[in-house]
Amino acid sequence: MTPGAPGPPARRERERPLIERAAEQRGSRRRAPAIHVEHVSKTYELGPIRVRALRDVSLKIARGDFVAIMGSSGSGKSTLMNILGCLDLPSAGRYVIDGTDVRDMDEDDLSDLRNRKIGFVFQSFNLVARTSAVANVELPLAYAGVDRRARRQRAERALASVGMAKRLDHQPSELSGGQQQRVAVARALVTNPTLILADEPTGNLDSHSTEDVLRIFAELNEQRRTVVLITHEPDVAEQAKRVIHLSDGRITEDARRVGVHEPPPAVQRQKSAHGVASEAGR
């Protein structure tokens, strides 16, 4: 799950799963922000060359917020998302997710966290080829040890929620880009994560599919999930409640557009334009 990570870190004996330990501190955790990044830097060492991808980034994201992270290519967006998703660790600084410092977690804790609490969506969909939509969506549940029947049911429900109920047995090559991304979104939400992290999810989509996928993110946010969406497209960022700009590894702008507890812009529009044929084009 951690592509390109240098060998496994020294592993200490596992006490108890994080999920269990966390349940005991629920009171304090509920008050903690979903995401708390403090003075985080990330430096990649390429032989003699050091690339400073993030420089002293501090950021709090509240539960239920919908945040767009913008910036030109190379500004550090994916590096930040990999840290937020516990796919990579900061070189310096602190990252506290849901009240727990990632430095206090071992590899098993981190993979539990990624599997159960975070849903990832990528620009290139990352579906398994020659494997049906429903089997792709079942995968994270298989890793989590959910039994076969429950797996199938939940995967079907997730696919139905993104308008893909009639494409269960289609393989990725038999689906359009927009449909593939909807399958990928179903895979991200099938574990019922509290945090959705999406890195340029609409980067390979036409405008119609972009709208579909953004509407689904808005709905997920309306269900109180925290959504962090990385994009370099201003009209995509407009769908978020808060827009953060990165430039050369630093936050240069942070603008709140809609309150954390208000519905996201797409849902507000949908409500005012009542009776939209939501199944149109699906």
Residue ranges in contact with ligand ADP by CB under 6 A: 44, 46, 51, 53, 71, 73-79
Of 70-78, 150-158, 174-182, 273-281: span binding Mg ion (CB under 5 A): 70-78
* Nearest CB to ligand ADP, comparing residues 28 and 73: 73
Sheet containing strand 195-199, strands side by side: 118-122, 195-199, 226-230, 66-70, 242-247, 250-256
Nearest-angstrom CA–CA distance, 183 and 125:
8
Quote the Cα angle for 194-199-204, to 5°. 130
CB 244 within 8 A of CB 254: yes
Q: Look up residue 268 and give its two tokens.
A: 């507000």
* Nearest CB to ligand ADP, comparing residues 73 and 272: 73
* Nearest CB to Mg ion, comparing residues 77 and 187: 77
74 binds, among ligand ADP, Mg ion, none (CB under 5 to 8 A by kind): ligand ADP
Candidate residues 59, 71, 75, 78; the one interacting with Mg ion per rule CB under 5 A:
78
202 binds, among ligand ADP, Mg ion, none (CB under 5 to 8 A by kind): none
* Nearest CB to ligand ADP, comparing residues 75 and 270: 75
Closest approach of Mg ion to the CB of residue 32, in Å: 28
Closest approach of ligand ADP to the CB of residue 76, in Å: 4
Closest approach of ligand ADP to the CB of residue 125, in Å: 17
173 binds, among Mg ion, ligand ADP, none (CB under 5 to 8 A by kind): none
75 binds, among Mg ion, ligand ADP, none (CB under 5 to 8 A by kind): ligand ADP
Nearest-angstrom CA–CA distance, 197 and 269:
23
Residues in touch with Mg ion (CB under 5 A): 77-78
